[in-house]
Amino acid sequence: MTKKILLLSAYDARSHKLWRNRLAQMFPDIDWTQLALPPRNFNWRIRGNSLHWAFNNRDELTANYDLLIATSMADLSSLRGLVPKLCELPTIVYFHENQFAYPGNLQREDNIEPLLVPIYSALCADKIVFNSIFNKETFLEGVKDLANKLPDKIPDCALKKLEDSLVIPAPISIPNHKSIDSKTSNCLEVVWNHRWEYDKGPGLLLEIANLLSISKSPIRLHIVGEGFRQVPKEFDQIRDLLRKHANNIDIETGEFGFIEDEASYYSLLSSCDAVLSTALHDFQGLAIQEACFAGCTPLTPNHLVYPEYLPEDFLYHRHESDGTTAKLVMERLQQWLTLKQENKTLPKINLKNYSAEKLRMNYEALFEFAS
């Protein structure tokens, strides 16, 4: 008998969308019903998704299912109150991220909704799953810290349930694509492929672009990734600096902007030598991992989730000063440029444990509890 699963993605950013689509691809025999809301108006979305779904998607929510999977931003406790039939379903809550570890987080006494909603949702679930150890640990630390500030104590049994959660990463699977053979060029091809938001470190990226613009190094930096309505002002300066650098050494400028076509995006990744992160906020690093699967050598900060799967060779120390950190990044890129010019192979990382094929059994076991 075909298993039927209802999946709710309350703030369907690119990484959330990739995750749910890959689950559907990994398990084509499952009958999936997926409801997703666009990633905008964050404070309203995290609190208002239950109201939206309950009165706009009641037919889908009240159909017969074997299992419910919801992202941590789904206001599951309210949704179950508005649609009581959902209380009958075995439920998994999946954490892509947590607001406790978000830079400039929202832990203000007048705005703790984004912190409380995922806690309530997790406590409604039969299974709680995080995409990384870093995500789980920072969430638990945040909950305990918040609990010490609240007027009423959070029961120990509730904290124990959160501590007993699982860790299963979002699976990586990049489609077949036509590679652009730029790895044979004289330039070191480097891609930065993150959301164009302040938590991805545009200040450090600007410092790196500035150092690159005054160098004569044949390093081509491609700036791609998803932008939103409010793009940090640094990106205009970064674009100008990269154009200046390209003109100074007579090379074509790299890609700059969102690449909507999936095949073109993955072709760019496969054409690059290295992938760079300047993030202040990353709970798995799907953009980095995808680039690694496409053959890139990663260069990331030595904190957040990255040390969970990257050895020291691929990490740089993040100083308080972006200028100091940028110099360390440029030194590493220069080393890799030298290796390429000497026809030597750049260091590589094997992330097969994050592949869809490897993680299939983990998800299969997770879904089985509902049988």
Polymer length of the chain: 371
Is pTM beyond 0.85 here? yes
- Are 4-173+356-368 and 188-352 in the same CATH fold? yes
Residue 40 has a pLDDT of 87
pLDDT at 133 over 70: yes
Angle (CA) 115 116 120, round 5°: 135
Quickly state the pLDDT bin for 107 (edges 50, 70, 90): very low
Give the whole-angstrom CA distance, residue 5 versus residue 11.
19
Angle (CA) 92 309 340, round 5°: 140
The CATH number of the structural domain formed by 4-173+356-368 is 3.40.50.2000
Per-domain residue ranges for the chain? 4-173+356-368, 188-352
pLDDT digits (tens, 9 = 90+) for 76-99: 999 999 999 999 999 999 999 999
Mean pLDDT is lowest, of 106-120, 151-165, 216-230, for: 106-120
Helix-strand-coil split of the chain, %, nearest 5: 45, 15, 40
Q: Give 349's contacts (C-beta < 8 A, 6+ positions apart).
A: 292, 297, 298, 309, 310, 311, 314
Single out the residue of 28, 24, 30 nearest to residue 2, CA to CA: 30
79 is written with which tokens?
């949704």
Domain 188-352, CATH number (from 1.10.3720.10, 1.20.1250.20, 3.40.50.2000, 3.30.565.10): 3.40.50.2000
pLDDT digits (tens, 9 = 90+) for 280-337: 999 999 999 999 999 999 999 999 999 999 999 999 999 999 999 999 999 999 999 9
